Chain A
Amino acid sequence: MTRVLITGGGSGLGQALAAQCRAQAGMSVCVVDIAPPADGASDWITHDMGDPANDSWSALSDTLAAKGPFDLVILNAGINATGRYEQVPVAAHLAVARVNLLGPMRLLHILLHKNLLTSGGRVVFISSLSVFTGYPGAASYAASKDGLACLARSLRKPLRKAGNIHVQLVCPGPMDTPHATRHAPEGARADRRIDPAKVARMILAQPGRRFLLVPGAGARMAAAAGRAFPQTMTRIMGKVLFRKLT
């Protein structure tokens, strides 16, 4: 039995990942989400990944110890706060940093500390294309996703050595999820965004266990451009995205 742990499994990409795992024989899923399960699913832990209180994390730690160890962990839960940095309340920016970066760190710390990752298993970090392009108009989000990508890069070798655990970094561009609809500029076309079910299939099917996965040809091109011309790419993002958001 392959045991899968998915954060933010209640919507969007996380939901697609959970649904595909549930449909496969020999896979059991455990979702961590801030909202209680909509359909009364039993494989569910209700937990706020951005909770600053230690109590809720101790409770999560006990629950995970009972359900684990896990063969596949997907750190997917994420929120955004878009607009001119100074005009978005600072509390919203801090929440983004906590849910998207501090939460995954704390969860990983529990999993490593309690030995809840199986040897030969993998940990998948859902970051963003913003790592390559920059993301003016979402400074706190860009911060959190750069932090998460760096965490994946830093842990890659140590986890491989310590427990033969594979680390993977996924940097999706715009996906057609509730998240994207909330944060895209007005008038942006949904049909240009990649289907989360397709991204989920790519993540679950990863044959060669490549470290970096940038799903979709358009996103891969943007990533390559951002790698070669980081500041130019951010300036373009400023022109095509930020000016529209604000």
Chain B
Amino acid sequence: MKAKLIFVTGGASGLGLELVRAARRNGHRVICTGRRGAQDLPVDFPDIPYLSCDLASEDGAHMAADWALQHSVGQIGCALLNAADGYFRPMTLETPDAITRVLSVNLEANMILAHRLYPALGGGHLALIGSVAHKGAAGMPVYAASKAALDGFGRALAEEWRGRTYVRVLHPGPTATGMAERAGRRPNAADKLFLAPRPMAQAVLDAALATTGRDRQVISYGRVLFSPARWRRKGAA
């Protein structure tokens, strides 16, 4: 595969960081944004261009777009829009500011980025990271709705941009990034079943860069544990 310029949002931690690592392992050039300041990056963070910006504000998303366009010199091979926020709690315990922020980061920022990056995505790939929660989740109604919205957005955009840019909505299953605990869900026995972030990231990246496959895909146990690429790599190792 030809080396591509890959742009990742939320690349300083969790699945985003594993996406950065997977893309680099596969020989791509990677640039990424994150919420945290550069001084708070993990110690083993790779030596790649990093922009700290808060995607909860309109300015933040435009800043990220300007930065990505500048660093990619107008040609992005693949944009992996992964940053997300959300809480595991019922509507009554939400706050107006949190609702607004979750929709800004999970939906509006991605809408702005898709709009602004359009010129650079010709011949490239746009992957929107959703969640299996997009079908509805009583325990996290706001987060689930934001991911359902992203699914409907990508579904329409994939058809509009067909033949020019590959648009994919990829819905990961439960992944052991610590997101669930940060979101306020109490750890329980089910955590043992969460998928490991590294193979999940590889499966997401493979799906994002594929030129075949459905516009919207669930990336969960089946895809992560039984991916042909995984066995190929194991065999090679």
Which of the listed residues B100, B116, B156 has the most CB atoms from chain A within 10 Å of its own CB? B156
Give bound CA distance, A80 to B42, whole Å.
Answer: 43
8 A Cβ contacts from B132-170 to A: 134-138, 140-142, 144-153, 155-162
Give bound CA distance, A150 to B147, whole Å.
Answer: 9
Top 6 closest A-B pairs, CB basis? A146-B152, A153-B136, A147-B149, A150-B148, A143-B153, A154-B141
By a CB distance below 8 angstroms, the chain A residues around B58 are 94
Contact A231 B99 (CB under 8 A): no
By a CB distance below 8 angstroms, the chain A residues around B144 are 150-151, 154
Nearest-Cβ distance from residue A47 to partner chain B, whole angstroms: 14
Known: A54-B97, A102-B99, A134-B152. 18 other contacts (CB 8 A): A84-B160, A85-B118, A85-B161, A97-B111, A101-B103, A105-B142, A105-B145, A106-B100, A138-B156, A142-B156, A143-B150, A145-B152, A147-B146, A150-B134, A151-B142, A154-B137, A157-B138, A231-B214
By a CB distance below 8 angstroms, the chain B residues around A143 are 107, 111, 149-150, 152-153, 156
Q: What are 16 residue pairs bridging A and B, where the CB atoms are less than 8 Å apart in the complex?
A: A85-B161, A93-B111, A93-B115, A101-B145, A102-B100, A105-B142, A109-B96, A139-B152, A139-B153, A146-B134, A150-B148, A150-B149, A151-B141, A154-B140, A162-B92, A242-B159
Nearest-Cβ distance from residue A238 to partner chain B, whole angstroms: 4
Give bound CA distance, A127 to B113, whole Å.
Answer: 25
Nearest-Cβ distance from residue A114 to partner chain B, whole angstroms: 10
Give bound CA distance, A84 to B142, whole Å.
Answer: 28
* Complex interface bits, A170-200 against B, C-beta within 8 A gives 1, otherwise 0: 0000000000000000000000000000000
Which of the listed residues B116, B137, B145, B152 has the most CB atoms from chain A within 10 Å of its own CB? B152
By a CB distance below 8 angstroms, the chain A residues around B92 are 112-113, 162
By a CB distance below 8 angstroms, the chain B residues around A138 are 156
Which single member of B103, B112, B148 contacts A149 (CB below 8 Å)? B148
Residue in chain B with minimal CB distance to A86 = B118
Known: A86-B118, A113-B92, A242-B160. A106 touches B138 (CB 8 A): no
Contact A134 B148 (CB under 8 A): no
Give bound CA distance, A113 to B24, whole Å.
Answer: 47
A235 contacts the other chain (Cβ, under 8 Å)? yes
**Number of B residues with CB within 8 Å of any CB on chain A:** 47
8 A Cβ contacts from A88-143 to B: 90, 93-94, 97, 101-102, 105-106, 108-109, 112-113, 130-131, 134-140, 142-143
How many A-B Cβ pairs are below 8 Å? 152
B66 contacts the other chain (Cβ, under 8 Å)? no
Residue in chain B with minimal CB distance to A140 = B111
Known: A94-B111, A234-B155. A85 touches B160 (CB 8 A): yes
Known: A154-B138, A234-B155. A146 touches B112 (CB 8 A): no
Nearest-Cβ distance from residue B210 to partner chain A, whole angstroms: 15
By a CB distance below 8 angstroms, the chain A residues around B148 are 146-147, 149-151
By a CB distance below 8 angstroms, the chain A residues around B116 are 90
Known: A150-B135, A231-B214, A235-B159. A142 touches B141 (CB 8 A): no
Which of the listed residues B112, B142, B145, B162 has the most CB atoms from chain A within 10 Å of its own CB? B145
Residue in chain A with minimal CB distance to B141 = A154
